[in-house]
Amino acid sequence: MSSNLPKVAWIGLGIMGSPMSENLVKAGYQVTGYTLEQDKIDRLVAAGGKGAASIADAVRDADVVITMVPASPQVEAIAYGPDGILENARRGALLIDMSSITPQTSVDLASSAKDKGIRVLDAPVSGGEAGAIEAVLSIMVGGEQTDFDAAKPLLDVLGKTIVLCGPHGSGQTVKAANQLIVAVNIQACAEAVVFLEKSGVDLSAALDVLNGGLAGSTVLTRKKDNFLKRDFAPGFRIDLHHKDMGIVTDAARNVGAALPVGGVVAQLVASLRAQGDGGLDHSALLRSVERLSGSQV
Protein backbone atom coordinates (compact mmCIF):
# COMPACT_ATOMS: atom_id res chain seq x y z
CA MET A 1 0.00 0.00 0.00
CA SER A 2 1.42 3.33 -1.09
CA SER A 3 2.09 5.46 1.99
CA ASN A 4 2.28 8.71 0.01
CA LEU A 5 -1.43 8.49 -0.90
CA PRO A 6 -3.76 10.54 1.31
CA LYS A 7 -5.62 8.66 4.06
CA VAL A 8 -9.33 8.55 3.29
CA ALA A 9 -12.35 8.43 5.59
CA TRP A 10 -15.54 7.33 3.82
CA ILE A 11 -18.93 8.11 5.39
CA GLY A 12 -21.95 6.41 3.79
CA LEU A 13 -21.61 2.90 2.33
CA GLY A 14 -24.83 2.44 0.40
CA ILE A 15 -25.55 1.38 -3.18
CA MET A 16 -23.04 3.97 -4.45
CA GLY A 17 -20.67 4.38 -1.52
CA SER A 18 -19.75 0.71 -1.15
CA PRO A 19 -18.41 0.09 -4.67
CA MET A 20 -16.82 3.56 -4.85
CA SER A 21 -14.91 3.12 -1.59
CA GLU A 22 -13.83 -0.35 -2.70
CA ASN A 23 -12.43 1.12 -5.93
CA LEU A 24 -10.23 3.40 -3.82
CA VAL A 25 -9.01 0.42 -1.78
CA LYS A 26 -8.15 -1.40 -5.03
CA ALA A 27 -6.18 1.66 -6.15
CA GLY A 28 -4.03 1.48 -3.01
CA TYR A 29 -5.73 4.04 -0.78
CA GLN A 30 -6.09 3.42 2.94
CA VAL A 31 -9.86 3.79 3.45
CA THR A 32 -11.59 3.86 6.82
CA GLY A 33 -15.35 3.60 6.51
CA TYR A 34 -18.34 4.36 8.68
CA THR A 35 -22.04 3.88 7.97
CA LEU A 36 -25.12 3.03 10.03
CA GLU A 37 -25.26 -0.66 9.07
CA GLN A 38 -22.51 -2.88 10.45
CA ASP A 39 -22.76 -5.39 7.57
CA LYS A 40 -21.78 -2.64 5.12
CA ILE A 41 -18.75 -1.73 7.22
CA ASP A 42 -17.88 -5.45 7.26
CA ARG A 43 -18.08 -5.48 3.45
CA LEU A 44 -15.51 -2.67 3.22
CA VAL A 45 -13.23 -4.47 5.68
CA ALA A 46 -13.52 -7.67 3.63
CA ALA A 47 -12.46 -5.67 0.57
CA GLY A 48 -9.31 -4.46 2.37
CA GLY A 49 -10.51 -1.28 4.04
CA LYS A 50 -10.89 -0.48 7.73
CA GLY A 51 -14.02 -0.04 9.79
CA ALA A 52 -14.73 2.72 12.30
CA ALA A 53 -17.04 2.79 15.31
CA SER A 54 -18.17 6.38 14.72
CA ILE A 55 -17.82 9.35 12.40
CA ALA A 56 -15.29 10.90 14.78
CA ASP A 57 -13.28 7.68 14.80
CA ALA A 58 -13.31 7.51 10.99
CA VAL A 59 -12.27 11.10 10.25
CA ARG A 60 -9.77 11.83 13.03
CA ASP A 61 -6.60 10.99 11.07
CA ALA A 62 -7.95 11.41 7.56
CA ASP A 63 -6.41 13.69 4.94
CA VAL A 64 -9.56 13.39 2.84
CA VAL A 65 -13.12 12.79 4.08
CA ILE A 66 -15.63 11.60 1.48
CA THR A 67 -19.36 11.56 2.18
CA MET A 68 -22.02 9.75 0.15
CA VAL A 69 -25.41 9.90 1.87
CA PRO A 70 -28.98 10.28 0.55
CA ALA A 71 -29.93 13.94 1.00
CA SER A 72 -29.33 17.32 2.67
CA PRO A 73 -30.63 16.33 6.14
CA GLN A 74 -28.19 13.42 6.29
CA VAL A 75 -25.28 15.59 5.14
CA GLU A 76 -26.11 18.08 7.88
CA ALA A 77 -26.46 15.27 10.44
CA ILE A 78 -22.99 13.86 9.71
CA ALA A 79 -21.24 17.21 9.21
CA TYR A 80 -22.43 19.25 12.18
CA GLY A 81 -22.63 18.77 15.93
CA PRO A 82 -20.10 17.48 18.48
CA ASP A 83 -19.95 14.03 16.88
CA GLY A 84 -19.82 15.34 13.30
CA ILE A 85 -17.12 15.72 10.70
CA LEU A 86 -16.36 19.41 11.22
CA GLU A 87 -15.70 19.02 14.96
CA ASN A 88 -13.52 15.93 14.55
CA ALA A 89 -11.61 16.20 11.28
CA ARG A 90 -8.20 17.82 11.44
CA ARG A 91 -7.47 21.32 10.17
CA GLY A 92 -6.39 21.23 6.53
CA ALA A 93 -8.42 18.12 5.74
CA LEU A 94 -10.34 18.07 2.47
CA LEU A 95 -14.05 17.17 2.70
CA ILE A 96 -15.52 15.91 -0.58
CA ASP A 97 -19.29 15.59 -0.37
CA MET A 98 -20.49 13.32 -3.19
CA SER A 99 -24.12 13.25 -2.05
CA SER A 100 -26.80 14.89 -4.18
CA ILE A 101 -28.17 17.76 -2.10
CA THR A 102 -29.40 21.32 -2.53
CA PRO A 103 -26.83 23.80 -3.83
CA GLN A 104 -27.49 25.98 -0.76
CA THR A 105 -26.63 23.14 1.62
CA SER A 106 -23.26 22.81 -0.11
CA VAL A 107 -22.61 26.57 0.08
CA ASP A 108 -23.47 26.59 3.80
CA LEU A 109 -21.29 23.55 4.50
CA ALA A 110 -18.28 25.11 2.77
CA SER A 111 -18.75 28.29 4.78
CA SER A 112 -19.02 26.45 8.11
CA ALA A 113 -16.04 24.24 7.29
CA LYS A 114 -13.85 27.22 6.40
CA ASP A 115 -14.11 28.43 10.01
CA LYS A 116 -12.63 25.07 11.07
CA GLY A 117 -9.83 25.17 8.51
CA ILE A 118 -11.44 22.37 6.49
CA ARG A 119 -11.63 22.65 2.70
CA VAL A 120 -14.79 21.48 0.92
CA LEU A 121 -15.79 20.34 -2.55
CA ASP A 122 -19.30 19.40 -3.58
CA ALA A 123 -18.85 16.53 -6.03
CA PRO A 124 -22.13 14.77 -6.84
CA VAL A 125 -22.04 11.99 -9.42
CA SER A 126 -24.04 10.55 -12.29
CA GLY A 127 -23.89 7.02 -13.63
CA GLY A 128 -25.80 5.05 -11.04
CA GLU A 129 -24.79 1.80 -9.40
CA ALA A 130 -23.26 0.40 -12.61
CA GLY A 131 -21.18 3.55 -13.09
CA ALA A 132 -19.98 3.32 -9.49
CA ILE A 133 -18.97 -0.33 -9.84
CA GLU A 134 -17.25 0.22 -13.19
CA ALA A 135 -15.62 3.50 -12.01
CA VAL A 136 -16.96 5.42 -15.00
CA LEU A 137 -19.01 8.00 -13.09
CA SER A 138 -19.46 11.55 -14.26
CA ILE A 139 -18.45 13.83 -11.38
CA MET A 140 -19.53 17.48 -11.29
CA VAL A 141 -17.55 19.54 -8.82
CA GLY A 142 -18.05 22.88 -7.07
CA GLY A 143 -15.31 24.65 -5.11
CA GLU A 144 -11.81 26.10 -5.39
CA GLN A 145 -9.48 25.17 -8.24
CA THR A 146 -6.61 24.29 -5.87
CA ASP A 147 -8.81 21.90 -3.88
CA PHE A 148 -10.12 20.39 -7.11
CA ASP A 149 -6.54 19.84 -8.31
CA ALA A 150 -5.68 18.12 -5.01
CA ALA A 151 -8.75 15.87 -5.26
CA LYS A 152 -8.42 15.05 -8.96
CA PRO A 153 -6.15 11.94 -8.67
CA LEU A 154 -8.59 10.42 -6.18
CA LEU A 155 -11.65 11.33 -8.25
CA ASP A 156 -9.96 9.80 -11.32
CA VAL A 157 -10.17 6.43 -9.51
CA LEU A 158 -13.94 6.81 -9.13
CA GLY A 159 -15.04 8.28 -12.43
CA LYS A 160 -14.28 9.06 -16.04
CA THR A 161 -15.61 12.57 -16.63
CA ILE A 162 -14.54 14.90 -13.82
CA VAL A 163 -15.20 18.61 -14.26
CA LEU A 164 -14.92 21.66 -12.00
CA CYS A 165 -18.16 23.52 -12.75
CA GLY A 166 -17.65 26.67 -10.66
CA PRO A 167 -17.74 27.82 -7.03
CA HIS A 168 -19.31 25.95 -4.08
CA GLY A 169 -22.75 24.62 -4.96
CA SER A 170 -22.07 24.50 -8.71
CA GLY A 171 -21.60 20.74 -8.70
CA GLN A 172 -25.03 20.37 -7.09
CA THR A 173 -26.61 22.72 -9.62
CA VAL A 174 -25.22 20.67 -12.52
CA LYS A 175 -26.33 17.45 -10.79
CA ALA A 176 -29.84 18.89 -10.48
CA ALA A 177 -29.83 19.56 -14.24
CA ASN A 178 -28.57 16.01 -14.79
CA GLN A 179 -31.47 14.59 -12.79
CA LEU A 180 -33.93 16.70 -14.77
CA ILE A 181 -32.58 15.35 -18.07
CA VAL A 182 -32.49 11.75 -16.81
CA ALA A 183 -36.07 11.83 -15.48
CA VAL A 184 -37.50 13.36 -18.65
CA ASN A 185 -35.49 10.87 -20.74
CA ILE A 186 -36.73 7.86 -18.74
CA GLN A 187 -40.29 9.15 -19.01
CA ALA A 188 -39.98 9.49 -22.81
CA CYS A 189 -38.52 5.97 -23.05
CA ALA A 190 -41.32 4.60 -20.85
CA GLU A 191 -43.99 6.21 -23.04
CA ALA A 192 -42.31 4.79 -26.15
CA VAL A 193 -42.20 1.30 -24.59
CA VAL A 194 -45.93 1.26 -23.83
CA PHE A 195 -46.76 2.70 -27.27
CA LEU A 196 -44.60 0.08 -29.02
CA GLU A 197 -46.01 -2.82 -27.00
CA LYS A 198 -49.62 -1.77 -27.52
CA SER A 199 -48.83 -1.53 -31.24
CA GLY A 200 -47.66 -5.16 -31.32
CA VAL A 201 -44.05 -4.38 -32.28
CA ASP A 202 -41.08 -6.55 -31.20
CA LEU A 203 -39.98 -4.37 -28.30
CA SER A 204 -36.40 -5.64 -28.07
CA ALA A 205 -35.79 -5.07 -31.78
CA ALA A 206 -37.44 -1.64 -31.63
CA LEU A 207 -35.32 -0.48 -28.70
CA ASP A 208 -32.15 -1.72 -30.41
CA VAL A 209 -32.79 0.27 -33.57
CA LEU A 210 -33.97 3.36 -31.67
CA ASN A 211 -30.83 3.29 -29.53
CA GLY A 212 -28.71 3.33 -32.70
CA GLY A 213 -30.16 6.63 -33.89
CA LEU A 214 -30.80 10.12 -32.58
CA ALA A 215 -33.24 8.72 -30.00
CA GLY A 216 -30.40 6.70 -28.48
CA SER A 217 -29.14 7.63 -25.02
CA THR A 218 -27.14 6.38 -22.06
CA VAL A 219 -30.49 6.12 -20.27
CA LEU A 220 -31.85 3.75 -22.92
CA THR A 221 -28.62 1.72 -22.96
CA ARG A 222 -28.58 1.36 -19.17
CA LYS A 223 -32.31 0.86 -18.67
CA LYS A 224 -33.32 -1.18 -21.73
CA ASP A 225 -33.25 -4.48 -19.83
CA ASN A 226 -35.24 -2.95 -16.97
CA PHE A 227 -37.97 -2.05 -19.47
CA LEU A 228 -37.87 -5.39 -21.30
CA LYS A 229 -37.88 -7.57 -18.17
CA ARG A 230 -39.93 -5.26 -15.96
CA ASP A 231 -37.00 -5.57 -13.55
CA PHE A 232 -37.13 -2.58 -11.25
CA ALA A 233 -34.59 -3.64 -8.60
CA PRO A 234 -33.11 -0.32 -7.55
CA GLY A 235 -29.99 1.07 -9.13
CA PHE A 236 -31.40 4.50 -8.33
CA ARG A 237 -34.60 4.61 -6.30
CA ILE A 238 -37.70 6.61 -7.18
CA ASP A 239 -37.57 8.03 -3.62
CA LEU A 240 -34.20 9.63 -4.39
CA HIS A 241 -35.26 10.90 -7.79
CA HIS A 242 -38.31 12.42 -6.13
CA LYS A 243 -35.94 14.27 -3.79
CA ASP A 244 -33.82 15.41 -6.73
CA MET A 245 -36.81 16.67 -8.72
CA GLY A 246 -37.70 18.74 -5.67
CA ILE A 247 -34.19 20.20 -5.66
CA VAL A 248 -34.22 21.11 -9.36
CA THR A 249 -37.75 22.57 -9.39
CA ASP A 250 -36.98 24.66 -6.29
CA ALA A 251 -33.59 25.83 -7.58
CA ALA A 252 -35.07 26.68 -10.99
CA ARG A 253 -37.82 28.72 -9.36
CA ASN A 254 -35.20 30.64 -7.37
CA VAL A 255 -33.34 31.68 -10.52
CA GLY A 256 -36.44 32.25 -12.64
CA ALA A 257 -36.04 29.31 -15.03
CA ALA A 258 -39.19 27.61 -16.34
CA LEU A 259 -39.29 23.79 -16.31
CA PRO A 260 -42.60 23.01 -18.03
CA VAL A 261 -41.81 19.39 -18.94
CA GLY A 262 -39.67 18.85 -15.84
CA GLY A 263 -42.57 19.99 -13.68
CA VAL A 264 -44.87 17.39 -15.22
CA VAL A 265 -42.30 14.60 -14.82
CA ALA A 266 -41.71 15.68 -11.20
CA GLN A 267 -45.42 15.11 -10.58
CA LEU A 268 -45.30 11.70 -12.27
CA VAL A 269 -42.35 10.71 -10.05
CA ALA A 270 -44.27 11.95 -7.00
CA SER A 271 -47.39 9.99 -7.99
CA LEU A 272 -45.36 6.80 -8.50
CA ARG A 273 -43.97 7.24 -5.00
CA ALA A 274 -47.46 7.85 -3.61
CA GLN A 275 -48.57 4.55 -5.16
CA GLY A 276 -45.96 2.70 -3.14
CA ASP A 277 -43.25 2.37 -5.79
CA GLY A 278 -40.70 4.65 -4.09
CA GLY A 279 -38.29 1.79 -3.42
CA LEU A 280 -38.13 0.75 -7.09
CA ASP A 281 -35.63 1.87 -9.71
CA HIS A 282 -36.47 5.11 -11.53
CA SER A 283 -37.05 3.07 -14.71
CA ALA A 284 -40.30 2.10 -12.92
CA LEU A 285 -41.73 5.32 -14.40
CA LEU A 286 -42.86 2.72 -16.93
CA ARG A 287 -45.39 1.49 -14.35
CA SER A 288 -46.94 4.95 -14.21
CA VAL A 289 -47.40 5.08 -17.99
CA GLU A 290 -48.87 1.57 -17.93
CA ARG A 291 -51.42 2.60 -15.29
CA LEU A 292 -52.33 5.70 -17.26
CA SER A 293 -52.72 3.50 -20.37
CA GLY A 294 -55.22 1.19 -18.64
CA SER A 295 -52.92 -1.70 -17.70
CA GLN A 296 -53.24 -3.44 -14.36
CA VAL A 297 -49.85 -3.04 -12.67
pLDDT in tens, 70-105: 999 999 999 999 999 999 999 999 999 999 999 999
Contact 56, 9 (CB under 8 A): no
Closest CA to 266 of 203, 196, 182, 192: 182
What pLDDT score was predicted for residue 3? Answer: 66
Closest CA to 228 of 165, 291, 286, 148: 286
Which one is catalytic: 175, 223, 224, 243?
A: 175
Active site residue 175: yes
Residue ranges in the chain modelled with pLDDT below 50: 1-2
Closest CA to 107 of 167, 177, 175, 178: 167
Distance (Å, rounded) from C-alpha 110 to C-alpha 97?
Answer: 10
